[in-house]
Amino acid sequence: MAKAEHVNPPTEKLNGKAQAKRQRKLQLAKVKPVKVKPEKVKPEKIQAAEAEAPPAKLSEKAYAKRLKKLQVELCYLQDWVKTTGARVIILFEGRDAAGKGGIIKAITERVSPRVFRVVALPAPTEREKTQLFLQRYIERFPAGGEIVIFDRSWYNRAGVEYVMGFCKPEEHRRFLEACPRAERWIADSGIILLKIWLEVGKQEQDRRFKARVRDPLRQWKLSPMDLESYSRWYDYSRARDMMLAATDTEHAPWYVLRSDDKKRARLNGIEHILSLIPYERIKREEAKLPKRSSKGQYDDQAALEGRRFVQDFVG
């Protein structure tokens, strides 16, 4: 018998698009899937990455809650200073737009200005220029029961005066040599001296300066001196480095507070200040309001009729 011929089954006639689609399916069918093993990341690498990541921004609610607690503690500190007659100096230094004004406002917002005194001296007068360099600052030092906050201080000589050429190199050198000895005298006299440097980053300072240019509420903060100092970033960096190297001592150490995040810097700064002062909560008796006397009683509101009252603009 003759062998039956093998006949291929009839195939459909495919158009160009269908043929191309079928060809791709055949090619994909021949490709074997590749198994990818997940990379194991060492724990120390994870910790390093987390350390580099900036902390989360504080919400207004969380910031206000923590600030209120710290301001209560500042009131306790105030009572302790008044009761014990302690003397405290807190000085804040840093570049322009570092946040000095913000943290000072947060500290003094809920306390008495008769206990917490803020000193922000203008440029020296011609007479003051002939005095001992520290003389005009010493005049503002605290008496017993006072806390003096310097918004910039005698360290102007190590910063703006040196960078902008307002003092001679020899005067700058003598200041850096003499300052630790002067601060030894301050500490030995019983004054608690706290020195805080607010460190703002280059990009953040740039952002804040641009905001001051645009915002009418902040434009008053810009002066020709600020604009000139803005252009001298690395000159100020070197001046900072020299200052810290010469004046960061055991009896009057510097504390560097990063201030790119304003809210976090204020909270950290106040918490740090409170941790350095050995204050205690002073027990005080609860005040009792006396009864109001009705002697000489009359209609004191009717007596105001016809007077000029301030208009209610709020509505």
- Tokens read off for 119: 């000193």
Q: What per-residue confidence (pLDDT) applies to 315?
A: 83
The C-alpha atoms of residue 102 and residue 142 are separated, in whole angstroms, by 22
Q: What is the pLDDT, as a whole number, of residue 3?
A: 46
Predicted confidence at residue 221, as pLDDT, reads 87
**Token pair of 13, please?**
């006639």
> pTM value?
0.80
Q: Please name the amino acid found at residue 130.
A: T
The per-residue pLDDT for 225 is 86
Domain boundaries, the chain: 61-276
In CATH, what number does 61-276 get? Answer: 3.40.50.300
Residue 182: which of 134, 141, 147 has the closest Cα?
A: 134
Contact 89, 186 (CB under 8 A): yes
The pLDDT value given to residue 2: 47
Q: Which residues of the chain register pLDDT less than 70?
A: 1-53
How much is the pLDDT for 81? 98
Nearest CA-CA partner of 242 in 187, 162, 164, 166:
162
Amino acid letter, residue 30: K
- Per-residue pLDDT at 191: 98
pLDDT in tens, 296-310: 999 999 999 999 999
Could you tell me how far CA 296 lies from the centroid of its own chain? 55
pLDDT of residue 212: 93
* The pLDDT of residue 48: 54
Q: How far apart are CA 45 and CA 50, in angstroms?
A: 9
Beta strands in the chain, from DSSP E residues, in sequence order? 87-94, 116-119, 146-151, 192-199, 254-258
- Looking at residue 31, its pLDDT comes to 47
In angstroms, the CA 229 to CA 165 distance is 12
